Amino acid sequence: MQYHALSLARHGRGVELLGYLQTRPHGDVLRSGKIRLVPVADLRGLRVGPKLFQYVIKVIVQAIQLLYTMLKIDQPSYILLQNPPGLPSIAVAWVACLFWRSKLIIDWHNYGYTIMSLNHGRNHPLVQIAKWYEKLFGRLSDYNLCVTNAMKEDLWVNCNIKAVTLYDKPASYFKETPLELQHRLYMKLAKDYEPFKPRTESDSSNAEWTAFTEMDEKNGHVIKTRGRPALLISSTSWTEDEDFSVLLKALEDYERYIDEGVELPSLVCVITGKGPLKDYYNGLINKLHFKHIQICTPWLEAEDYPLLLGSADLGVCLHKSSSGLDLPMKVVDMFGCCLPVCAVYFECLHELVKHNENGLIFRDSNELAEQLKMLFLGFPTLEGKLHNFRKNLRASKQLRWDESWDQTVLPLLGQNE
């Protein structure tokens, strides 16, 4: 949604961006003179009564809060929202559009009811109500965007909603990170996270070291350290549609390969993000006692996340679409940084990840462990598949968000000018 706001601002439109108070937007959003932030307080659920009662009360209070906020803003030509989350925001946005005589645009990234079904099962009354709600209010929109052709077809066949495919694309700041910037980032992260600190004391008093880089303080020249670990990165919202036990099991196998004498590097595995299951998985991680693998789970500043992706050696994606129709934004960002990816299989993943071309697709922890072994064998000197994947990503000249948005969304808005 921040990308949409920036694209609209780039074309001279005033934007009011509604979002939670606790979430800090990207610096480009904060610096834009065309974007005004409208804060919404993050409601904490009631702790009294049955869970269903708590949920219903929370939705009602959210609806009142959101409608009140939307009726206070300047009259908009369009109200653009992302779904999910759509309960209660689609209905509230529709009411606000009636009041303001605005056009409603929904950007479909998934179906909210399929995410709910991960917890409650597809036949749960709440899930069925959410499905009915999503279809009903989805049809009341004026324009619809979606993230895959598979979702475009499903919206039309099952919901009678006509949508335009706007693939998620990386912003311009997702790119390979120069070595000097990598070193600066590692130095910053080393203050808080052990895996980024140097493994040994520096041989030279003139050198500044991290686990991955060293800088000659006389001339500022940065090189990668000899025998450095490989940097593996994954990002997550720590929800039920990503099973991180798959990665942890694969890392156990990777550790065993090293113990058996396979020529593999040590690993630093960084899992970024925050969400409801983070504490649960941190508990599992703390029980693991690796000699050759270090895991850390930081929450990165918005400006640091692209820099870390652009510094990594391999990305891992465990997003398993609840609907089978959306694509993981994290892989889009990784590809923007020319970072090869190992991603878990689901139905429409082929629209993004091309197996053996820009990454690898796996189905279980054993397959992922084998892929890690193959890709990191002889690292960093051996120019194998990892090198070829990165070369293919560099050569692919992917469309960036700005160009894609101008081609797809701008004409849509022009229809109503």
Q: What's the predicted TM-score (pTM) here?
A: 0.85
SS3 content of the chain, % helix, strand, coil (to 5): 40, 15, 40
- Name the least confident of 118-122, 175-179, 353-357: 118-122
Looking at the domain 179-396, which fold is it?
A: Rossmann fold (3.40.50)
Q: Is the pLDDT of residue 107 over 60?
A: yes
| Residue 70 · residue 79 · CB < 8 Å | yes
> What is the rounded end-to-end Cα distance, in angstroms, of the chain?
22
Question: In the chain, where are the structural domains located?
Answer: 1-169+401-412, 179-396
pLDDT tens digits, residue range 155-173? 999 999 999 999 999 988 8
CATH fourth-level superfamily of 1-169+401-412: Glycogen Phosphorylase B; (3.40.50.2000)
How many Cα atoms within 13 Å fall on the side-chain side of residue 62?
22
Our CA angle for 125, 128, 134, nearest 5°, is: 140
- As beta bridge partners, residue 362 has 344
Residue-level pLDDT at 205: 63
pLDDT tens digits, residue range 64-87? 999 999 999 999 999 999 999 899
Is-same-fold flag (1-169+401-412; 179-396)? yes
